[in-house]
Amino acid sequence: MAKKSNKTVYAVALVLFLGGLSYLIFSGLTQDSVYFLNVTEALAQDRAEIGNARLFGKVSPARLAIADGKLGADFDLVDKMRHDKTLRVEYKGALPDTFKADVEVIVEGKFSPDGQVFLARTLVTKCPSKYEEKSKQMDMQQGQAG
């Protein structure tokens, strides 16, 4: 009789473990999903269905408005490949020192209820090309040394 109760305990423990693991996986995938899109992809989708998204592109010099003290900006985000595709972005928060016109940025947030403006919670600028060149040179030197 003791052997039957051990099997039952193990079966119940396994079911509880698998149930808990399934719940964690499902809730983690549905709540924190963030789309990573370029401007053209974001414009092509139904903005009401996108929810949270991360967009990347270049800051257009036209209609760029930086708030006093660099505590926010309104700008057009331009697709890197299709320069005719733009999306209006509003960001409230401290701007990185490297933020300026024609710099590549990644913004994370969601669309306004009317879907016309992307309301960014975070804004990150891409490293300037001078750092990329130094990084490539260092990689090449390490490749030759190794």
pLDDT at position 70, please? 86
Three-state SS for 24?
A: helix
Q: What is the pLDDT of residue 30?
A: 55
| DSSP per-residue codes, 85-138 | -EEEEEEESPPPTT--TT-EEEEEEEE-TTSSEEEEEEEEEPPPHHHHHHHHHH
User: What is the structure's pLDDT at 22?
Assistant: 82
Over residues 29-77, the pLDDT tens digits come to 655 567 788 888 888 888 777 778 899 999 999 989 998 888 999 999 9
Residue type, 26: F
Q: How far apart are CA 115 and CA 113, in angstroms?
A: 5
List domains and CATH numbers for the chain: 35-127 (2.40.50.140)
The answer to whether residue 1 scores a pLDDT higher than 50 is no
